[in-house]
């Protein structure tokens, strides 16, 4: 999941922000990155990763759909599996990709339930610290 989340986040959140920077400022920021190879990848990242990421997300949502026997992933109570998958659900919403849940009614209900839990809401970074989504 993490590589797909990273690819989609880069494409939809980070790339638009980096594209607005003057080239000299971008180069300066990349020069201060602790990993030069990863820094260069910011400039050279392919632009076709979004479709592959969406495919990974659909597969994961299908697995969530299949796993659900009740409201939560492993049983009748909110548990570690739900906690582990909550950031995935939150990031899909942030990336405006939450339409991927539509074909999966139980998974969609799970996502809505997990994202409205007080503990999940409290763990989210405040809006002023989140990368904004550009206009789509």
Residue 136's pLDDT band (cuts 50, 70, 90): very low
Lowest pLDDT segment from 52-56, 123-127, 132-136: 132-136
Q: What does the CA dihedral 20, 21, 22, 25 come to, rounded to 10 degrees? A: -170
pLDDT in tens, 57-84: 999 999 999 999 889 999 899 999 999 9
d(CA 7, CA 40): 15
**The predicted structure's pLDDT at residue 78:** 94
**The predicted structure's pLDDT at residue 127:** 85
Residue 14's pLDDT band (cuts 50, 70, 90): confident
The pTM for the full model equals 0.82
**The predicted structure's pLDDT at residue 17:** 85
Percent of the chain with pLDDT over 90: 55
d(CA 12, CA 8): 6
Domains of the chain, CATH where assigned: 1-136 (1.20.1050.10)
Of 60, 129, 66, 136, nearest to 100 by C-alpha is 60
Of 28, 32, 112, 23, nearest to 72 by C-alpha is 112
């Amino acid at each position: 999941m993490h590589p797909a989340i990273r690819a989609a986040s880069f494409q939809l959140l980070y790339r638009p922000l980096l594209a607005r920077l003057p080239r000299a400022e971008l180069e300066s920021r990349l020069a201060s990155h602790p990993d030069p190879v990863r820094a260069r990848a910011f400039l050279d990242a392919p632009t076709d990763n979004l479709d592959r990421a969406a495919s990974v997300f659909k597969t994961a949502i299908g697995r969530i759909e299949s796993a659900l026997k009740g409201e939560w992933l492993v049983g009748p109570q909110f548990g570690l599996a739900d906690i582990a998958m909550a950031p995935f659900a939150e990031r899909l919403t942030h990336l405006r990709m939450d339409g991927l849940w539509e074909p999966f009614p139980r998974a969609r209900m799970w996502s809505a339930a997990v994202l409205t839990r007080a503990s999940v809401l409290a763990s989210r970074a405040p809006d002023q610290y989140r990368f904004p989504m550009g206009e789509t």
